[in-house]
Chain A
Amino acid sequence: MSRVTVDGTAVEVAPGATILEAAEAAGHWVPTVCFDQRQAPFGACRVCMVAVAGSPKPLPACTTPCRDGMEIETEEATARRVSRAVVELVLSELPEPPAPHTELARVAARLGVTGSRWTGAVHAREDDLRHPYLALRHELCISCGRCVRACDEVQGAFALTATGRGFDANIAAGLDAGFEDSTCVSCGACADTCPTDAISEISLVAQLERS
């Protein structure tokens, strides 16, 4: 066991536990976007940045293991500035604000991010509604990789792939043939984990458009 403090609260965590787990044990919130407890930590989004005494830069909480005696600050100014900036950057590419119930919207709200300072290109609408249950709206994809990992690590269908680079980074079902013509088993784990509704249930998309 290692003993660490999170915002002054002392907690004991199991060997190998991450800062994120320690923060949770201490009851302190750390913003995350690419993290899902059903999947191995990925460390891609850089939203979960925290300060650690002695470290010159903020560290990602989801992938950094605790060391005995670590002093962690979840709301340290630089770390929080990085988290907010990342969320703003992510939002800047979306053609419309994420729906209020989505994880991205909730993280943004809790971080006090109400918009983006950056203007520029936004994704064009590109919706794939071929599957009877799953809607894939590419313009809402932020390339967090959660759907790909849900498909690999939770279901084991290996139907989703990350594609493209930079601004064009997105996801593809079955090499872009769509869910039905892939190894997809329609389990919906991707829709369940998606923090932006880029993959969601058709029934809910219809609901959204009606309301």
Chain B
Amino acid sequence: MANATIPEAPAAEERFDRVAATTCGYCGVGCRLETRAIDGRIVSIGPLDGPANHGHTCLKGRFAHGFSRSPDRLRTPLIREDGELRPASWEEALGRIVAELERVKAAHGPDAIAGLASSRATNEDCYAMQRLIRAAVGTNNIDNCSRVCHSPTSFALRRSFGLSGATGSFDDIDHAEVGVLMGVNPTQGHPVVGARIKQAALRGCKLITIDPRRIELADYGEIHLAPRPGTNAAVALGLCHVVRREGLVDEAFVAERTEGYEAVEELLEGYDPAAVEEIAGIPAADLEAAARLYGEAASGSLLWGLGVTEHMYGSEVVQLLCNLAMMTGKVGKPGSALLPLRGQNNVQGSSDMGALPDTYTAYRSVEDEEVAATFEAAWGAPLSRRKGKTIPQMFDAAVAGDLKAMYIFGEDVAQTDPDTAHVIAAMESLEFLVCQEIFLNETTKYADVVLPASAFLEKEGTFINAERRFQAVEPAIDPPGEARTDFEIIGEVSRRLGHETGWETPWDALDEIARLTPHYAGVSRERLGSQGLQWPVRPDGTDSPTLYDTTFDRPGGRGHFAPLPYKAPGDAPDDEFPLVLVTGRILQHYNAGTMTRRTANAELVDRDVLEVHPVDAARLWIGDGDRVSVRSRVGRIEVEAKVTDRIEPGHVFTTFHFPETRTNLLVGQSADVNTSCPEYKVIAVDVRPISEQPSFVPVLADGD
């Protein structure tokens, strides 16, 4: 480059015509991102130095933006006519929605209508949706997809500590001597937190991983426990047993800060390591070592994910984890946090915003007269004091003929919810279904009206990440074609149903949320800045990185020990279904794959596979790459096998990212006893090879 002239360096922005700072819409980590667009298309996304991501992001946040201009994006409203969806004007589509909802309401009452908000949407979208359903329709039949992932976490944290959110921040990982990961695979599901945990481990943080699969972080940890799916409660009780037996209980913390410990002490007698080994199949010595490591450490954080919650007793296991933290005094201190890794970007926020059948914002009951009266006054509409239906209850009611119309936005229930056949029966039973989506999907096949909405890259408002952090979302590009933002659409439907919100922008809704919710009182667009605000936020804008440093948020200020014994999961292997299937997700794809499948991520991974242990594979004559049949008590799918020792013998694992696999056909009706979160993690199955070469099919002995 001899003597070559280097031009004056322009600012980086000059390459792009629109640059925005926003918050990632993939997963609950909440990375701060800079989006860069040219001619209305995103060409690049890079990380900003946010509190959760510290200048890093993953391949979804950084690269998987191409879906936003995919040719099959919905660009115009659609109306079903003679069984087919045809393009329609907004006027016609909205007119149809209003006419149908009014007809159903007049004929069957408001409780025959239900709405679903989306954990991918902004707080303001979700808040607008619950206001529409409550004030414009007049029912509490509003729920959101956190029902099927972290509702048990929310329930349990409220029971044990008082507030429905992580007790600390991701930064606690950097200060923890020990990290316990149960039923969570952060390097796949929450990649940036996964990377932070891995770096912490490389710096000396000792990891205990508890998962039926040998997750990647197990390779960086001290101890890996692989319990049988559905036995987390026994493991948690066993850890508590050993902590107590070895004298590692923080007696002062238990005495001064908690209640109910005596009942737990009695219960723990039955869970010595030998008993736990019997139930969970983990070596007693490993359980003891794990309990000592956590109990003896000066600081330790507990992280969990859907491997804990999506069980019949998921909400109880979370309470048991709270017990463990309280016994050792490891809550409310730097490095000692309980951090549920929330699945979708706004799982925390969609529930915080009251898109739930039993609560308004900040989990205040619809049965609470004072709260209901506050909202009635603010909205100028009479509000029901009766709890609404949860998502599974909505489907049951639809099949039973009690629920006639649904308005679903940003959720593909026919792909992601359990027992697909039942969900489809529910969709078919409805007289009227509205889907507000960015693509046609499995659920829109049953829709009467489909409205073209916006992706997170086109939205304005806020998300709340897994650290309870409100963060600003700014549009990187405009919605394509005639598509509109969810906030605009919901506001318009509300208006046409006769309920005027008076908001012009999502920021007006945020102001209303802050005004009507003491826990979010100090939240405002101006205060969010680049670092966001962790609720509770006081009126002066002071936020709360750590909860419970001096007192719990329960009556009397004490944490609650729940004496909950181990109970067997809803499904169990038997002679006909000898293997246990666990479902989950992988790094390259996000949930139903609606977005990631429409990007080059699909070049990296283009199918769901079934992980099978080599021992089982040999026994079943399954080779790597073979197509296999997977049959459960409720359904059957075909998928490609991958032979790996990441999984234990007797267990198999697959994902649900590709609609052609229809993994959720296999999942039955079993659900969490307190929150009806489905048991996606324990499904007894029968796996057999399907070979194009019949000679490879094993002869199944029938005795002769």
Contacts and interface: CB of A to CB of B under 8 A. Distances in A.
A9 B588 CA distance: 49
B106 interface: no
Contacts of A110: 9
A105 B59 contact: no
A77 interface: no
A109 interface: yes
Q: Give the one of A108, A114, A120, A133 with max B CB within 10 A.
A: A133
A97 B10 CA distance: 14
A204 B604 contact: no
B699 interface: no
B6 A185 contact: no
A135 B15 CA distance: 18
B521 to A, nearest CB: 35
A13 to B, nearest CB: 20
A186 interface: yes
B47 interface: yes
A128 interface: no
Interface majority SS (helix, strand, loop, mixed), chain B = mixed
B46 A192 contact: yes
B701 interface: no
Interface of A, helix, strand, loop or mixed by DSSP: loop
A106 B1 contact: no
Interface in B1-28: 1-10, 12, 14-15
Interface size band for A = 35 or more
B281 to A, nearest CB: 30
A49 interface: no
A51 to B, nearest CB: 26
A92 B600 contact: no
A58 B54 CA distance: 32
B43 A96 contact: no
A101 B187 CA distance: 32
A43 interface: no
Interface stretch (B89-97, B160-168, B191-199, B634-642): B191-199
A78 interface: no
A187 B26 CA distance: 14
Given A92-B2, A114-B5, A119-B2, A156 B202 contact: yes
Interface string B168-196: 00000000000000000001000100010
Interface in B579-631: 587-588, 600-601, 603-604
Interface residues on B, range: 35 or more
A95 B6 CA distance: 13
Interface in B55-73: 55-59, 62-63
A186 B6 contact: no
Interface in A175-207: 180, 185-189, 192, 201, 203-204, 207
A122 B1 contact: yes
A93 B1 CA distance: 7
A61 interface: no
A59 interface: no
Given A132-B600, A132-B603, A95 B9 contact: no
A1 interface: no
Contacts of B195: 154-156, 187
A100 B14 CA distance: 10
B531 interface: no
B44 interface: yes
A183 B296 CA distance: 35
Given A186-B59, A203-B43, A115 B1 contact: yes
A149 to B, nearest CB: 12
A153 B2 contact: no
A116 B4 CA distance: 7
Contacts of A189: 56
B38 interface: yes
B191 A133 contact: no
A34 interface: no
A188 B199 contact: no
Interface in A88-136: 91-98, 100-101, 105-106, 108-110, 113-120, 122, 132-133
B8 A188 contact: no
Given A154-B199, A185-B587, A203-B43, A100 B9 contact: yes
Contact of B56 (A100, A105, A187): A187
Contacts of B191: 185, 187
A185 B1 contact: no
Contacts of B63: 132-133, 186, 188, 201
A38 interface: yes
A127 to B, nearest CB: 18
Contacts of A201: 44, 63
A139 to B, nearest CB: 11
B2 A115 contact: yes
Contacts of B10: 100-101
Nearest to A96: B1
A80 B563 CA distance: 69
B38 A207 contact: yes
Contact of B604 (A98, A100, A115, A186): A186
Interface string B561-582: 0000000000000000000000
Nearest to A186: B59
**Interface hub of B4, B5, B587 (most chain A Cβ within 10 A):** B4
Contacts of A100: 6-10
Contact of A97 (B5, B54, B55, B600): B5
Nearest to A94: B1
Contacts of B202: 156
Given A95-B1, A100-B8, A133-B62, 7 more contacts: A38-B54, A91-B1, A92-B1, A92-B2, A115-B2, A115-B6, A118-B2
5 contacts: A100-B10, A133-B63, A188-B62, A192-B56, A203-B43
Instruction: Give the top 8 A-B pairs by smallest Cβ distance, nearest first.
Output: A132-B600, A119-B2, A186-B59, A156-B198, A106-B9, A115-B3, A132-B603, A133-B63
